[in-house]
Structure 1
């Protein structure tokens, strides 16, 4: 039987450490390569010197992103992505004294493949299109989070010197993030400047902010609110806070504009994917949620051989710990946070768009489940349906998903 070899790559920003071991765990190759084309060629040549058919040597690494990983995959090399937490647990297994170095970590990764490579999860192979959807969905999510954080900072600042600006749009969708609110606050970021705005000027700003209906009534309401006597900061401090508010407003405008642009690009990318029709057919599944789920799950159908594996990956089932007569069921915490958030929002949105989902939710609440637990049950059922629809290339069917509800109807 020919000798087998395993490789480990400890990645870095500027360079990577490569190690190759044989069947006995002896290091055959240990070298450092740069994070560029020259480094990729050096790594491939080192593997080729060990075995002519270098593609038969799997490489373990702790990340699936980066140019080096992309280059290895394009060269036909098998790349096995290991969870960093699991790798850290192996470190104590190989040494009584915990120690760490890039050179030893590369050797550790290779030995993990050598000893326990058969129990490592199957590596998904998503298409380039699915990876593009994932990148855009994650970028859009980060932009939305940045806009939310900036709006919260702006609201907190306004509360400290200009509370009337917060209460002016408190009962409207978006609050101070509304376009008309941002336009008016940009023109008058302090109480002094806002009190000088005439109803005519306010009407012009409201129209410039996109308001069409009840412009005069809204202008009169804002004028009365801004001219009402309130607690004030010292003049110099108020002006400084107004300048800071202007900076936050400009940041918020930028985040919102980028978010709209990324949303359009995300919709265009998602609509061109073959699985888009399947995702869109589910109740409560909008474009953003569908694109994020497609990006996180990928389009490699062999990744989840059965519905249970999909439910576990999406945090739709709890963790069971059984030992002897003791059994403990706990919440699954080490999960993809994006999928966990999608599950809650998807199940909640589906309550008003599917009678079967509503009946299942009400049934679980009647059995004693709380709101979140009942939504998790709904999420698990929807994932079962999603797994079936993707496997058979068919769209969601309410009658097939909830036959009891269909019979009663």
Structure 2
């Protein structure tokens, strides 16, 4: 998609302005059908409307705005050599993206069919923000061998979520772990981001970290670090995560996080515990 974007910027940058995402069938089909600004501008309004509706775009306002932008567009260049060479490359790249999207869809279908058959799937499928995409990834990150990790700290270090503390003489510094399975680390960070607005305490913890001066990514890694400790115990005990029970545990420990929670929502959750 980066190569396609760079190619389109050379002769047809308007296509990048008309669409928010390049890794979609909609974008691929549009560039294939109208590979230059001239082709798009000459297309009839009714044809463009039918195209967008056929790709499940139902917003009349968005369709009208997009068509208006297409009709008002002006060519970046009229150099035939520039347009022809980059048009050919763009079409090749679009076909590569299209095949990749088909492959991803095939993997998604296989994962969706296989994941629910695994014994630990329910431990992860009902987690806040997990969904069909992240639940199987979390399941794969933990695995099925309970003896593999003796403590949550081992998983935190293996996944790369736990930072590294180095010392030399009287100096010490902390940096993130470079040698780790990057996709596993990415899984925990991406899932932590999904829980910020779906878990009461996770949202409060994230805001607490930002209040301390942490960047967005640093706050998410800190949240992922905390989540791993919680999920590790659920995984070890084969007990599904329960938000209300965890809030009750925070209350018993007089956790400062409770002060950051919405009192009414927190009490409602605690009442269910």
Q: Which range, TM-score by smaller chain? A: 0.7 to 0.9
Change (3 A) 1:366 1:210: closer
Three-state SS of the structure 2 residue aligned to 1:329 is strand
> Does the 8 Å contact 2:38/2:75 carry over to 1?
no
- What do residues 283-313 of structure 1 show as CA deviations (whole Å, max 9, x unaligned)? 2223322322332432111000111112111
Unaligned runs of 5+ in 1: 1-150
- In the TM superposition, what are the counterparts of 1:381-392 in structure 2 within 5 Å? 381-392=226-237
Three-state SS of the structure 2 residue aligned to 1:321 is strand
User: Shift of the alpha carbon at 1:230?
Assistant: 2.9
Distance in 1, matches of 2:172 and 2:119, equals 43
Unaligned runs of 5+ in 2: 259-266, 268-273
Distance in 1, matches of 2:163 and 2:109, equals 36
Report the structure number with the largest CA radius of gyration. Answer: 1
Three-state SS of the structure 2 residue aligned to 1:284 is coil
- What do residues 18-63 of structure 1 show as CA deviations (whole Å, max 9, x unaligned)? xxxxxxxxxxxxxxxxxxxxxxxxxxxxxxxxxxxxxxxxxxxxxx
Change (3 A) 1:332 1:178: closer
Greater alpha carbon shift after TM alignment, 250-259 vs 361-370? 361-370
Tell me how large the CA RMSD over aligned residues is: 2.6
- In the TM superposition, what are the counterparts of 1:12-31 in structure 2 within 5 Å? none
Distance in 1, matches of 2:150 and 2:69, equals 64
1:158 to 2:8 alignment: yes
Distance in 2, matches of 1:373 and 1:218, equals 39
Change (3 A) 1:273 1:366: same
Q: What residue number does 2:120 align with?
A: 275
Q: What residue number does 2:264 align with?
A: none
Distance in 2, matches of 1:368 and 1:212, equals 42
User: Shift of the alpha carbon at 1:178?
Assistant: 4.0
User: Shift of the alpha carbon at 1:257?
Assistant: 1.8
Three-state SS of the structure 1 residue aligned to 2:192 is helix
User: Shift of the alpha carbon at 1:219?
Assistant: 5.6
Distance in 2, matches of 1:359 and 1:220, equals 39
User: Shift of the alpha carbon at 1:314?
Assistant: 1.8
Q: What residue number does 2:51 align with?
A: 205
> Does the 8 Å contact 1:314/1:336 carry over to 2?
yes
Higher helix share: 2
Structure-2-length-normalised TM-score: 0.81
Q: What residue number does 1:395 align with?
A: 240
Q: 2:70 aligns with which of 225, 237, 248?
A: 225
- In the TM superposition, what are the counterparts of 1:30-49 in structure 2 within 5 Å? none
> How many residues are treated as equivalent by the alignment?
254
Three-state SS of the structure 1 residue aligned to 2:75 is coil
Higher strand share: 1
